[in-house]
Amino acid sequence: MTKSLEDYLEMIHVLIRDHRVARVRDVALSLNVKMPSVVKAIGELKKYALVRQEPYGDIELTEKGARLAAMILNRHTVLKAFLCKLGVSEENANKDACLMEHILSAETMERIQEFLADKNPLKSAGKAKSTSEKINSKGKKRNDRSSKDD
């Protein structure tokens, strides 16, 4: 599925969550696109069995669509929180999270979630390095057994 379709699915989910209904007009306004673009995207999402819509009716998520949309929204929320924690403005964090949510691996997302949950993230990040490999004061790697050089 394309990044664009994921954005449509996420917005439909948000509209249903916040307003109990998603309409073509509301999706178009929220994503700043034209209504025919939304209609085309809905058609594509139907092919994936992610949404249902009667002609001119409200857009509904299927169970599969709701699960995927919630996952996409969660990725966005986590990435936005991560970027804000780094000091990125909320507006830019939101825009950047929207771009990043489509490309990061599951492993990277897990590490970011762990980072956000950790009380002392910088100390934990050091655990990722091999315990037998350290860096001396001159920036060169050394083995623990060769600590005489420090």
DSSP state letters, 105-117:
-HHHHHHHHHHHH
Q: What is the CA radius of gyration of the chain?
A: 22
According to DSSP, residue 79 is labeled H
- pLDDT-derived band of residue 147, with 50, 70 and 90 as boundaries? very low
How far from the centroid of its chain's Cα atoms is residue 8's Cα?
A: 14
Report the pLDDT value the prediction gives residue 120, as an integer from 0 to 100. Answer: 65
Number of neighbouring beta carbons within 10 Å of residue 95: 14
Q: What is the pTM of this model?
A: 0.74
According to DSSP, residue 126 is labeled G
Q: Across residues 81-110, what is the average pLDDT? A: 94
Number of neighbouring beta carbons within 10 Å of residue 137: 7
Report the pLDDT value the prediction gives residue 118, as an integer from 0 to 100. Answer: 84
* Alpha carbons 36 and 117: distance in angstroms, whole number: 42
Tens of pLDDT along 47-72?
Answer: 999 999 999 999 999 999 999 999 99
Domains and CATH numbers, the chain: 3-68 (1.10.10.10)
Spell out the residues 6+ positions from residue 66 whose beta carbon is closer than 8 angstroms to its own.
13
- pLDDT-derived band of residue 146, with 50, 70 and 90 as boundaries? very low
